[in-house]
Amino acid sequence: MTEKILEALSNVIDPDLHKDLVSLGMIQNLTIEGDVVSFTIILTTPACPLKSKFVKDCTDIIHKQVDQNLKVNISFISRVAQQRRVVAERLSKVKNLVAIASGKGGVGKSTVAVNLAVSLANMGAKVGLLDADINGPSLSVMLGLEEVQPYVKQEGDKSVIQPIVKFGIKIMSIGMLVARNQPLVWRGPMLSNAFQQLVVDTEWGELDYLIIDLPPGTGDIHLTLCQQLPLGSAIMVTTPQKVAVADNLKTIEMFRMDSLKIPVIGVVENMSYFIPLEHPEEKYYIFGSGGGKELSETYQIPLLGSIPFVMGVSDQADQGIPAVAEKGSLLNKVFNDIAQGVAQQISILSSHK
């Protein structure tokens, strides 16, 4: 009867992966005791939205093709732990994985990630930059790599992606692997698989820091990504506005969860004030003030820096030029100070392990 049940289950298709559960290896621990059939479905994410659909489809097909009197008992487990081991193996030569995070979109998180990575590289570190925002990748635009595709080499039956090197850092983003105008409308399991492939198939080599630009928010996919990655620390990016601070409070609490326990080593406040080019000595707090300080004091974590809003920076980003690349500028100094603070906090964290 076991073979009949597996044959029946081979007709249940995962709508995301477009293959049946049996061939995908998602059916395990199949047992039959009397009139009770029990098995486990291995999910790609613990928060998979397809659980109820899998239960119904599997039960219906067993009743239809095997025996309608059988009782079907289905349990679920996640591949997250296994995926984390695979990812950790690929990143075994990376000393520090640092997540750049924010509970709110539009606060300049990717800008901070790019300029922090370039600043650390300019200080002599070996640095990588990974765009973990699968649905809305932006690093390829910000680094002028929209038309660049990484080289993929074959090692036996495995494809290995060579990250693009620019501004002294190794860069990988799914934005460099898909057509510029192609929308990425994927659900949790597909996002998880795409991200794992992006990490595992990339040849990072030896790195002092791998800066990971996380997507904004605190949803299921963020939790899954953080569980898969062997993150050592996280940095919060906020603006002075109350709504950004409120969203970041939730993100910090996510990192503090028992299932993660990822240390938040600092806060960066972006768009702290506006400086007109004609009057660089003047400051205008157009987005309010104090948001970064509030987060810092609430959780007793350092405020690593406050980044002013300077005219022309967004235009440079659109041209693929990081603000820190302009030597001697105000932003060059601000980001270098932030990078030194990050290196210091990671050093302190390492000494306590």
Mean pLDDT by 10 residues, the chain (353 residues): 92 83 88 94 70 93 94 83 70 93 89 95 95 79 85 80 93 76 50 69 92 84 78 94 88 89 95 80 83 92 91 69 81 93 92 70
- pLDDT value of position 185: 47
- pLDDT value of position 328: 74
Q: Where in the chain is the domain with CATH 3.40.50.300?
A: 83-351
Q: Where in the chain is the domain with CATH 3.30.300.130?
A: 2-78
- pLDDT value of position 46: 59
Residue 321: what residue type? I
- pLDDT value of position 119: 95
HSE on the CB side for 249, CA within 13 Å?
Answer: 12
Is the domain covering 2-78 a CATH 3.30.300.130 domain? yes
- pLDDT value of position 48: 64
Per residue in 240-278, pLDDT (tens digit) is 988 888 889 999 999 998 878 999 999 999 988 888 767
- pLDDT value of position 146: 81
**For the structural domain made of 83-351, what CATH number should be given?**
3.40.50.300
- pLDDT value of position 186: 47
